[in-house]
Chain A
Amino acid sequence: MTVIESFKMAIDAITANKMRSFLTMLGIIIGIAAVIAILAIGNGATTRITGTFNDLGATTISLSVSNKAGNDAQLTAADLQAIKQADTRVTAISPNYTLAGFAATNNQDEQAIVFGGTPDLQYTNTVMDSTITAGRYFTQAEYDDAAPVAVISVDGAAQLFPNQHSAVGQMITLRSRTTSISVRIIGETQSTVSKYQGAVRRSSFPVYVAIPYATMKLLSINAGGITDVTMKVRSRNDITSVSQSTVRLLETRHDVVGQHLYTARNYLAALDQVDSVLGLFVNFIAAVAAIALIVGGIGVMNIMLVSVTERTREIGTRKALGATTRDILIQFLLEAVILSLIGGLIGLTLGIVLAEVVAGWLGITAHITWQAVILVLLFASAVGVFFGLYPARKAAKLNPIEALRYE
């Protein structure tokens, strides 16, 4: 007997009792739908959370100096340059001076967070990011000259200049508790606020401003020595070794080897923790789904056993007409596999729909890979083979005379 014939017989048997076949598949459908939805949502969530962490600094190292450090151990602009030149994996390095003050025009006066740094600040600052939407960032020359220039967040520009398309070229006054300076806006960048705008009310956030570190010294009496530095490395894998070599370099330059005056912090531990929590979550749900699949498989086995009993006379007749043990085995095994596969396909469709809906609620993108689809269908077939084998063997081994006599 050919596979096509066995296939046709199996389909006939499945369609002969559609409602029962559907109920039999239900376990498989639920199991597969759950697996697909969880994989898709899990992938989407991981991508999203990892992405957010990358924004926040998966490749960021924060350098700080202990307050036990003497004057000779303070960080200098030359130190920063030396660190960057010593290692090509360091892509940006900047002081990270932050001042809470005000930004004002003739008409507006808003709370402001002012950052002071080198031109690399555009890469190291995680609140204002490196995406420049208008104008330009300040240059090394402007940094060296303490030029009165500023880069402002897009949403901040909109707060200060509500009626203008762009704030570039406008003058604003930056005010600290002690003094104020007048600066010209030369560029606008995206910020954490502007990126997620719509989710929050814009005016409840301060205006973000970035200025050269030397200019910051004019605004704040505290901005003398460099105490906090942020640096960027090429990839997450560089973090640990660059952290170590940077601390060593600084210790050597300031002749304080072994005194633990410099600390390099990173977010690796936090990232790893998020990864492992996510992984745990996905594994847990996948285990639940696998149990659902096994329950589904037992359902298939159950119905196949009922079916074998119901069709005992049919099996006897087929054997009398010349069906071999193998013919009967294949017929029933195929029936179980097709039942599981159809259940798998329905579950797959349902799972994709479910993933899209849930991903929509969570505001993430569901990722359904073709590997997952193939894996899931293979798994459904495997469930069919595994749980179909026992009933099929039972059918194949029936004694033809007893089967024919069965009422």
Chain B
Amino acid sequence: MSLITMQHVVKTYVMGDERLEVLKDVNLTVNPGEFVAIMGPSGSGKSTMMNIMGLLDTFNSGLYTLRDTDVTHLTDNERAHVRNREIGFVFQSFNLMPRMSLLENVALPMVYAGVGRRERQERAAAALTQVGLGDRLDHQPNEISGGQMQRVAIARAIVNRPAVIMADEPTGNLDSKTSVEIVRIFQQLNAAGTTVVMVTHEPDIAQYAKRIISFRDGVIQTDETLKQPQKAGADQ
């Protein structure tokens, strides 16, 4: 059974008299265990697609099924709950809470999930250890590097054991060496069974995924499965 099924999804922005069709009849299926890279030039609709998949944004017409559930018409509250349980976001600019420790940052999704304090701390510590920051639980975000901040964000994304990780340009603010480190963590998580959808406009980063979808002007132009994805560890 597929994890994400999108059928005939259309997204239109209306600005004054102008109608801007950002997604034009997009059809996409993502199966559990996939690592999908979404590519395309700036303004082609990648972020819009990702926000709709992540239930942050709504669309004008079409159907969206997530884990066998029709999530096309949900209330704001229901969407917040699905985001909390099923989706782990990783952003280009990390979006950590500046005055919270790394542990508290990672524990935040569990606060909204109603997880008890003890369990939150244990699971947050485990997630941070998983991304290699098990020794910095009490550090503040301003005490660590950009690559480390993105690792914290990844720990935060996986801590509620979501169905899929959605990362919009996760390496956009990082140098190429650090970018590879980050994408390698995605590979590891994917190898352990987590589904990953990652937006990037860098072809060499996309090469680490198992499948590359190219967007142009709001339509999927190519959709190819890589026979041999780049091994992040191999070129080091």
Binding site for B on A (CB under 8 A): 1-2, 5, 12, 16, 313-314, 316-327, 400-401, 404
Contact = CB atoms under 8 A, between A and B. Distances in A.
B95 A404 contact: yes
A327 B112 CA distance: 8
Interface in B80-119: 80-81, 83-85, 89, 91, 95, 97, 99-100, 108-109, 111-114
Contacts of A317: 91, 95, 97
A322 B76 contact: no
A2 B77 CA distance: 16
Nearest to B112: A322
A321 B83 contact: yes
Contact of B57 (A1, A12, A401): A401
B143 to A, nearest CB: 16
A252 to B, nearest CB: 84
B141 interface: no
Nearest to A12: B99
A311 to B, nearest CB: 10
A381 to B, nearest CB: 24
B109 to A, nearest CB: 5
B54 A318 contact: no
B191 interface: no
B144 interface: no
B112 A321 contact: yes
A1 B112 CA distance: 5
A320 B108 CA distance: 11
Given A1-B111, A322-B112, 12 more contacts: A16-B99, A317-B91, A319-B83, A320-B83, A321-B89, A322-B83, A322-B84, A323-B112, A324-B76, A325-B77, A401-B57, A404-B56
A321 B114 contact: no
Contacts, number: 60
Nearest to A319: B80
A1 B91 CA distance: 23
Contacts of A314: 97
A376 to B, nearest CB: 31
23 contacts: A1-B112, A314-B97, A316-B95, A317-B91, A317-B97, A318-B108, A318-B112, A319-B83, A320-B54, A320-B95, A321-B83, A321-B84, A321-B108, A321-B156, A322-B84, A322-B109, A322-B113, A323-B112, A324-B112, A326-B77, A327-B112, A401-B51, A401-B57
A364 B72 CA distance: 72
A320, A323, A326, A404: most-surrounded residue (chain B CB, <10 A): A320
B89 A1 contact: no
Contacts of B95: 313, 316-317, 320, 404
Nearest to B95: A317
B166 to A, nearest CB: 9
Main secondary structure of the interface of B (DSSP, over half): helix
Contacts of B83: 319-322
A321 B77 contact: no
Contacts of B54: 320
Contacts of A322: 80-81, 83-85, 109, 112-113, 160
A2 B97 CA distance: 19
A314 B100 CA distance: 12
B89 to A, nearest CB: 5
Contact of A325 (B76, B89, B108, B160): B76
B114 A401 contact: no
Nearest to B86: A322
Contacts of A401: 51, 56-57
A210 B51 CA distance: 98
B56 to A, nearest CB: 5
When A and B form their complex, which 6 residue pairs have the shortest distance between CB atoms, in order from nearest?
A: A322-B84, A322-B112, A317-B95, A324-B80, A321-B109, A320-B89
A326 B80 CA distance: 11
Contact of B56 (A1, A323, A325, A400): A400
Contacts of B77: 324-326
Contacts of A313: 95
A318 B105 CA distance: 10
Contacts of B99: 12, 16
A213 B56 CA distance: 99
Contacts of B80: 319, 322-325
A403 to B, nearest CB: 10
A355 B131 CA distance: 59
Nearest to B93: A313
Nearest to B99: A16
B93 to A, nearest CB: 8
Contacts of B156: 321
A320 B56 contact: yes
A393 B81 CA distance: 20
A321 B114 CA distance: 13
Contacts of A318: 108, 112
A317 B80 CA distance: 12
A320 B114 CA distance: 16
Contacts of B112: 1, 318, 321-324, 327
Nearest to A323: B112
Nearest to A317: B95
Contacts of A404: 56, 91, 95
Contacts of B89: 320-321
A321 B158 CA distance: 11
Contacts of B109: 321-322
